[in-house]
Structure formats: structure tokens, C-alpha cells
Amino acid sequence: AVDAIKRETRRFAKRQMTWFRRDARIVWLDITQYSEAGLLDEACALLAEER
């Protein structure tokens, strides 16, 4: 049962990623390119652009 849960969780995550990649509204941020504060600032700036 545990193996089935793990397998289905991986499959679900893969379907989510496929769905998100097709959505042009999604903006991917590479967290390795930002400090914690910089990442927050960038995310807030992106949200402000949407309004």
C-alpha cells in the first residue's frame, strides 16, 4: 500500500507540473538566483504587475 501511495503521489506531481507548464500565467522563479528577501521582492513585484 505504501508503494502504491508513493507511486501515485509521483504521478500526481508529474501531472501538476505538466499542467503548470502549459499555463502562460505561471512565472517560474529560480530560487538559486535570489536571496530569500530578493525572492520575496520579485514575487511581490510580479503580483503587483497583475493588478
Threshold 0.85, pTM exceeds: no
Residue 37 burial class via C-beta count within 10 angstroms: exposed 0-12, middle 13-18, buried 19 and up: exposed
Q: What is the pLDDT of residue 51?
A: 76
Q: What is the pLDDT of residue 12?
A: 98
Q: What would the grid cell of residue 6 be?
A: 508513493
Q: What is the pLDDT of residue 45?
A: 97
Q: What is the pLDDT of residue 6?
A: 98
Total structural domains within the chain: 1
Domain hosting residue 7, numbered range: 2-50
Q: What is the pLDDT of residue 50?
A: 80
Mean pLDDT by 10-residue block, N- to C-terminus, for the chain (51 residues)?
98 97 94 96 94 76
Please give the distance of CA 3 from its chain centroid, rounded to a whole number.
Answer: 25
User: Rounded to whole angstroms, how far apart are CA atoms 31 and 29?
Assistant: 6
